[in-house]
Each structure stands twice: as structure tokens, then as C-alpha cells.
Structure 1
Amino acid sequence: MTHFEISTHIAAAPQRVFDVSLDVDVHTSSMAGSGERAVEGVTAGRMPLGDTVTWQARHFGLRWQMTPCISAFDPPGYFVDEQVSGPFKQWHHAHHFERDEYVSTLMRDVIDFAAPLGLLGTLAEAVMLDRYMPRLIRVRNEHVKATAEATVGGTSSSVGT
């Protein structure tokens, strides 16, 4: 099992960052490099508690599908998505949003995952996934940051304004 945490400072209020982080369209655009798209469940807009979305993407030259569910939800403090079907033996992603000392948001991702296939999966985690997954989350977070900060200074966006 792999555990990692990533912190991102965002110059926007926690509610704004929370809303942007739950937006399917923002997620889709953040993962354009892997061609990720929503193919079932909630395919546009913001996801509430209990909702699922099936993502389809290409990673490592292979097409994957993963369906997470929003399993915990306490706006604007946190939400959790957990895999209900997909490539991992286990996937648990807790998203935390805290006002920081600069009247911005500290967004903290806490991720625990395990690859399937026993020893082979453990080897895949050590060789590839332990580096690949944090890099993927950082790319997503930079997009969330840019989107959430887009409304600061009087501009607007269609997400959670």
C-alpha cells in the first residue's frame, strides 16, 4: 500500500476551492494529457455526496476505467472519493481545505492506494506508481489552483462563483 500527501496553497476561499475540486469539467480539463473523460454517472458539473463518476483515461499506453464515489462530504472542509470499481485494489483520496494564515486555502490531498495482483502489484507500486501518482495529482492541483484563482480580482468563471 502506498500513502502520500500533497499540499497546495491557493489564493481563493476554501468554499471556492472545494467547489472547483468537485467539478467534473475542471477534473476533465486538468487531465487532458491522459485524455481523461467522464463516461458514466455524473459527467458534468459539481458532484455531491454519494455521487459516482466513471473516468476513462490512457495511462502507460493502456486504457483504464475507474469509478470513484464521493463517500464523505463536509463543505467546505473536506470530501473523500473512494474507488468502487477500477484498476486499484484500494483507492482512498481525502481532500482537505483549510483557511491558511494568508486568507487563502491550504488544499491537502491525502491518498492511500494499493495495486492489485499481490507481489506483482507491490512491485508496480515501487517501480512506477509511487512516482507517477503524486506527479499526476500535482498536475491536477495546479489546474485546480489556476481555476480557483481565476475569479480573484473581479474576473468570473462558471464554477462555484
Structure 2
Amino acid sequence: MPKIELLTEISAPIEKVFDLARSIDLHMESTKQTGEQAIAGKTSGLIEPGETVTWRAKHFGIWQTLTSKITEFDRPNFFADEMVQGAFKSFRHEHHFIRADDHTVMKDIFVFESPFGVVGRVFNWLVLTNYMTKLLKERNRVIKKVAESYQ
């Protein structure tokens, strides 16, 4: 299974970064290039433990829906969301937050599996891992920008 790991240093308190990372509204802002909208479950505000959100977005020219659930939660250090239904065979996105001297380190670990066996694995290698990395980096760029604007 492909695994994407990203570290983002943010000059803001850990609690602020944690809450921005679980903001439905900020997520939609950071994915506006895909037209992503929350259409069911928690559709605005801060997602909480056990809650689900269903997203609708256009990827690779096709409108898709995906439902994820917050499966682990330890504010302000960690939360994980996992796909309940959608185009992936599975995915788990871990969000780790580490206090540093004057900033917060946000660590993403995104593990996913595509359907369609060998064809899916080739698609991961050729296209999907890079595509998902770019989406996550853009999301983190927006979180960083907003978090640091409060300083």
C-alpha cells in the first residue's frame, strides 16, 4: 500500500493547528480546485470523534463521493480519519501534532489502497501517489497560512 508522509512546520500554537486541521470549512477552502463540498454528515465546523463527513469532488474529470469517519482522537496531539465508503479500496489519514519551542510540527501519514489489483497498483505508482501528495501539500499550505495569520 502506498504511504505518504509529510511534515509541516507552523508558527502557531498546537491547539490552533489541531482545530484548523479538523475544520470542514477550511478543508473545502483548501480543496476548492476540485470543487470539493461536504454534502452529508458533518458539513461545517469542527469534526469530532465518531463523526462522519461525505465529500463530493471532481478528480480526474469524474465527480466522486467519499465518506470518512474520525476513528481516533486525542486533542491536541492526534486524530485519524478512515474511509467508510468511496473510490479507494481503503485509506487511513493520521494527523499528528507535535509541540516545538515556538511552533507546531504537523505530521501527516496517509496510507491508501486502490481497487483493481495490479491495475490499481500501477495507477498508484504512475499517478495517484503524486496526485494525493499535491492535494495534501496544498491542504497543509492553507492550514499554515491561516494558522500563522492569527499571530
Tell me the distance in 2 between the aligned counterparts of 1:48 and 1:59: 26
For 1:135-146, list aligned pairs within 5 A: 135-146=134-145
Q: Which residue of 2 aligns with 1:41?
A: 41
For 1:31-110, list aligned pairs within 5 A: 31-101=31-101, 103-110=102-109
Tell me the distance in 2 between the aligned counterparts of 1:25 and 1:130: 25
Structure 1 residue 49, shift from structure 2 partner: 0.1
Tell me the TM-score normalised to structure 2 length. Answer: 0.98
Instruction: Please give the secondary structure, in 1, of the residue aligned with 2:76.
Output: coil
Tell me the TM-score normalised to structure 1 length. Answer: 0.92
Tell me the distance in 1 between the aligned counterparts of 2:85 and 2:146: 29
Q: Which residue of 2 aligns with 1:156?
A: none
Cα shift readout 1:27-76 (whole Å, capped 9, x = no counterpart): 00000000000000000000110000000000111111111100000000
Q: Which residue of 2 aligns with 1:128?
A: 127
Letter in 1 for 2:7: S
Structure 1 residue 144, shift from structure 2 partner: 0.7
Letter in 1 for 2:48: P
Instruction: Please give the secondary structure, in 1, of the residue aligned with 2:136.
Output: helix
Cα shift readout 1:92-135 (whole Å, capped 9, x = no counterpart): 0000000123x210000001001011111111101101111111
Q: Which residue of 1 aligns with 2:12?
A: 12
Tell me the distance in 2 between the aligned counterparts of 1:110 and 1:30: 18
Please identify runs of 4+ aligned residues in structure 1 that moved more than 2 A. none
Structure 1: gaps of 5 or more residues: 153-161
Tell me the distance in 1 between the aligned counterparts of 2:123 and 2:67: 21
Tell me the distance in 1 between the aligned counterparts of 2:48 and 2:70: 7
Q: Which residue of 1 aligns with 2:23?
A: 23
Letter in 1 for 2:125: A
Letter in 1 for 2:52: T
Instruction: Please give the secondary structure, in 1, of the residue aligned with 2:79.
Output: strand
